[in-house]
Amino acid sequence: DRTTRRHESTSMAATMKLSLTFVLLISALVVFGDAQATCDTVRCIQGGYITCKNYPGEKLDGCACVCAPKDGRGCVLHLNSGSTNRCTRH
């Protein structure tokens, strides 16, 4: 009877440690995933486009600076509300 209780207690502790490890791993993926967000994951409510000096005359898709091309220089985010924001390199 005591052996069974010890085994159950050990099993429950192992399950809790495994669950905690799983939660920490998932949390890390979410945090680092947000830091590495791509334009595919950006939800646009306000709408807009991006212009870059080395893409003259082009209105590039995107409503967040994360959507600017990696090789873009002097990129500016133009929102449908009329506001503009300079995109800085990450």
- Residue extents of the structural domains in the chain: 1-36, 40-86
Contact predicate 56/45, CB 8 Å:
no
Instruction: Return the CA Rg of the chain.
Output: 24
pLDDT at residue number 44: 74
Q: Which of 59, 61, 60, 68 is nearest to 86 (CA)?
A: 68
pLDDT at residue number 23: 59
Q: Please state the φ and ψ torsions of residue 4, each to the nearest 5 degrees.
A: -65, -45
Q: How many CB atoms lie within 10 A of CB 68?
A: 23
Query: Is pLDDT at 35 greater than 50 in this prediction?
Result: no
> For 44-85, what is each residue's pLDDT tens digit?
777 889 999 999 999 998 888 988 999 999 999 999 889 999
Q: What is the pTM of this model?
A: 0.54
Sheet of strand 76-79, all strands in order from the earlier edge strand to the far edge: 60-61, 48-51, 76-79, 84-86
